[in-house]
């Protein structure tokens, strides 16, 4: 029985997708005594794994050394037939119409179906709309003649990765698990019980899918609220950061969220649209979610508008202005640029005629993207380079950025993260818009 193989660590674990979700999961299974095979279509990742070189900044290469005896990676998907448990950790982006693009999930599912065996466990971790696992994926897998819940096990367990979070890791973040049947849930829960400190079973795959969407929609809506208040309070000459600090002293009924240049990462900018798209099938309009999305998507435009006005106050035009954007990563101290607002800000500044460079200690060159094609590389951050720019726009507040150094050498600062004010006392030479 598969549960017994899982509990005695003899089950072979296959993880499809070796990115920000899949690779940390590999390490936890290896630490728990399992043999793991990683599958990915990117040969560069496989090559780096073989060389014991991490390609994710916050995951040191020492973890690959530690996992070496139990972990192998390959682009050959025929090995799926030898796996007892297969976990899918592939991207679920939006297409150009901001509709769900599940091509990676469905292509992976078809690949698994071509190698499906009786008794295997298939788990999807990629964020998606309710019904993906028990309807869409199940239909593909059952084309083999094998039945979910009878011949193989099917489950959904949403990833909850927060790269470089010092307080929570893959092992310590509670794991929501939903199965197609009770037995599917029991097998999936047994597997995750081996690698995480707490599993949270729910009644179905749809409940698990919906739980992940709720988590990120909650954040999206609240971030949109403070972004909207940021724009309003600016006009009222009220400091939003001071207001938030005051409000969060209330010990109940309030959780602090902070404004910024827009949303980044693979979850919060994308996940809400999966539910709004699915809601149309049920003739339901998700106005609240869509409005939050509109506000958050508009923030790069607001940042550029603030930059334009700041330059005007200095008697300079945006056209031919030299601007340095600090930070490409979507949040502090990581190299993950997925959906980063920096790219939209750079594009908009260039459309206004500005000459734009960027600096990011974690991103020496921009990653290849479908939406943006920038032939750039990270500019050095020296007194001379800072001084030559007409404006410095802080988009990511990396801890390596010294606020006083920036203030001392920059001509003008537009700070979207409150890095300068929160780090320098009121006597500092703050020259920010």
Catalytic residues: 267
**Strand duo 199-202 + 153-156: pairing:** unpaired
CA 231 – CA 228 distance, rounded (Å): 5
Distance from C-alpha of 417 to C-alpha of 403, rounded to nearest angstrom:
12
Among candidate residues 409, 328, 322, 401, the one with its CA nearest the CA of residue 366: 328
Q: Are 91 and 369 in contact (CB under 8 A)?
A: no
Distance between CA atoms of residues 341 and 382, nearest Å: 24
* H-type alpha helices, 280-369: 287-313, 341-351
Cα 72 to Cα 88: distance, rounded to the nearest angstrom: 16
What is the phi/psi pair of residue 55, to 5°? -105, 10
DSSP three-state, residue 262: coil
**Number of Cα atoms under 13 Å in the Cβ half of residue 417:** 22
Reference 377, options 415, 314, 325; nearest CA is 325
Six token digits for residue 360: 């990011």
């Amino acid at each position: 029985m598969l549960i017994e193989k899982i509990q005695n660590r003899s089950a072979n674990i296959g993880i499809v997708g070796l990115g920000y979700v899949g690779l940390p999961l590999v390490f936890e299974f290896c630490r728990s005594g399992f043999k793991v095979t990683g599958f990915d279509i990117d040969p560069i990742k496989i090559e780096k794994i073989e060389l014991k070189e991490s390609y994710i900044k916050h995951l040191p290469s020492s973890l690959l050394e530690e996992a070496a005896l139990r972990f192998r990676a390959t682009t050959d998907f025929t090995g799926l037939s030898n796996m007892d448990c297969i976990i899918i950790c592939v991207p679920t982006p939006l297409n150009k119409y901001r509709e769900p693009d599940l091509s990676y999930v469905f292509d992976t599912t078809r690949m698994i179906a071509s190698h499906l065996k009786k008794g295997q466990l298939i788990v999807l971790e990629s964020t998606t709309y309710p019904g993906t696992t028990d309807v869409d994926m199940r239909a593909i897998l059952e084309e083999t003649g094998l039945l979910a819940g009878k011949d193989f096990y099917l489950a959904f367990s949403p990833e909850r990765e927060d790269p470089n979070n010092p307080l929570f890791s893959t092992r310590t973040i509670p794991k929501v698990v939903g199965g197609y049947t009770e037995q599917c849930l029991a097998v999936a829960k047994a597997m995750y019980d081996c690698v995480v400190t707490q599993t949270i079973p729910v009644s179905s795959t749809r409940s698990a899918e919906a739980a992940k969407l709720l988590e990120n929609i909650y954040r999206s809506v609240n971030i949109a609220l403070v972004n909207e208040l940021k724009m309003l309070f600016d006009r009222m000459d009220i400091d939003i950061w001071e207001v938030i600090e005051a409000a969060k002293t209330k010990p109940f009924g309030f959780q602090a969220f902070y404004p910024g240049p827009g949303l980044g990462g693979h979850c919060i900018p994308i996940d809400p649209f999966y539910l709004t798209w699915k809601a149309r099938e049920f003739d339901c309009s998700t106005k609240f979610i869509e409005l939050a999305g509109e506000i958050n998507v508009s923030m790069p435009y607001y940042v550029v508008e603030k930059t334009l006005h700041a330059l005007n106050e200095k008697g300079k035009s945006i056209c031919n202005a030299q601007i340095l954007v600090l930070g490409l990563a979507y949040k502090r101290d990581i190299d993950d640029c997925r959906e980063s607002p920096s790219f939209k800000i750079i594009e908009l500044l260039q459309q206004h005629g500005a000459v734009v460079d960027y600096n990011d200690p974690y991103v020496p060159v921009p990653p290849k993207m479908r939406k943006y094609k920038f032939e750039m590389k990270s500019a050095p951050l020296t007194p001379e380079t800072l001084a030559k720019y007409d404006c410095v726009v802080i988009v990511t507040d990396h801890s390596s950025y010294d606020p006083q150094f920036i203030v001392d050498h920059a001509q003008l600062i537009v700070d979207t993260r409150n890095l300068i004010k929160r780090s320098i006392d009121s006597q500092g030479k703050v020259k920010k818009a």
